[in-house]
Amino acid sequence: MKYFTLDQLDTINQGEQKPARFAVIGNPVSHSLSPQLHQAALDSLEKDARYIRVEVEIGKLAEAFTKMHAAGIKGVNVTVPHKLEALEACQQVDPAAAHMGAVNTVILNADGTRSGFNTDGPGFSRAIREEFGVDLSDLKVIIIGAGGGAGRAIATQCTLEDCPQIILVNRSLGKIEELATKLLRLRKTESLAGPRDRISSIALDDPALEESIAASELIINTTSIGLKSADPSPFPSHWIEPHHLVYDSIYNPSRTRLLREASKQGARVANGLSLLIHQGALSLEYWLDREAPLQAMRQGLLDSIKD
């Protein structure tokens, strides 16, 4: 079965050898690769547990958590469009998730309460270390598409790690100007204000974007531009220089036009597969309180994409 609905939760273990203990919820959810990622990890760790998909309607998340807890589910990944609703449905929320304004990982506690976390930001930090061998905190970053959920999470992580430069880029300025204000407030809250207090926003069509990219070290694309083979690069690729690190949150296709052209320019590039793996690994670590088997998770994803 591709996914279960709420009224099917009492049947999730019928005819199955392993009980369902973890799940991803979304709407739609049938496309999610989380089962391939997490089942590979659970099998590698020899856990008697299954990972399933559950499709949940908007507005029914609290009900879903209650029913999933009753069905024996211990941990949940949350994908679009439920991350904000998940934040509101948790009794305990990790401070970083509160700053990001979204929850993507939930522990369904034994007493019925819910603890919420966001692994997108920390997962991205781990991905950058893996891909480029450098800490995110040491890089001047520019985030293309910062107005979306992934862009906001990454921008918040960059702020928490005190990156020396954070430039937010979006088609419309309204969302990112508000985000920039929140991030500046966060820096002050975390006692990070000072010489490195450099957070700015710019529209995608602003002529000054070329100069902003030149002044950056890590270029991050969090837009959907590149999902289709005919998609262009989100900005002129000749702006990229050999010293740049370019990270595209898209992982399928594995090489978007942005990454192909950036590589031709001599830049080091990476796609979003490492982010998907590391944010998933962090979820598993919250649920199981042990290190996740990264290689098994990576292979599970690669096999699914190949299929």
Residue 307 and residue 303: Cα distance in Å, rounded? 6
For the sheet with 199-203, list strands across it: 199-203, 165-170, 140-144, 218-221, 245-248, 268-271
How many beta carbons lie within 10 A of that of residue 112, not counting itself? Answer: 11
Helix (H, G, I), strand (E, B) or coil at 206: coil
Q: Hey, how many other C-beta atoms are within 10 angstroms of the C-beta on 292?
A: 23
Among the options 83, 140, 175, 264, which is catalytic? 83
The tokens of 132 are what?
Answer: 């480029």
Measured distance CA(76)–CA(11) in Å, rounded: 18
**Which residues have C-beta within 8 Å of that of residue 178, sequence separation ≥ 6?**
none
83 is catalytic: yes
CB 151 within 8 A of CB 201: no
Work out the burial of residue 137: count CB atoms within 10 Å of its CB; fewer than 13 is exposed, 13-18 middle, 19 or more buried.
middle
Peptide bond into 253 cis (omega under 30): yes
Q: For residue 31, what is the DSSP state? A: T
Q: Please tell me the distance from the alpha carbon of residue 219 to that of residue 154, in angstroms, as a whole number.
A: 12
Of residues 15, 4, 123, 27, the one with CA closest to residue 73: 4
DSSP secondary structure of 54-80:
EE--TT-HHHHHHHHHHTT--EEEE-T
In terms of Cα–Cα distance, which of 49, 57, 54 is closest to 16?
A: 49
Catalytic positions: 83
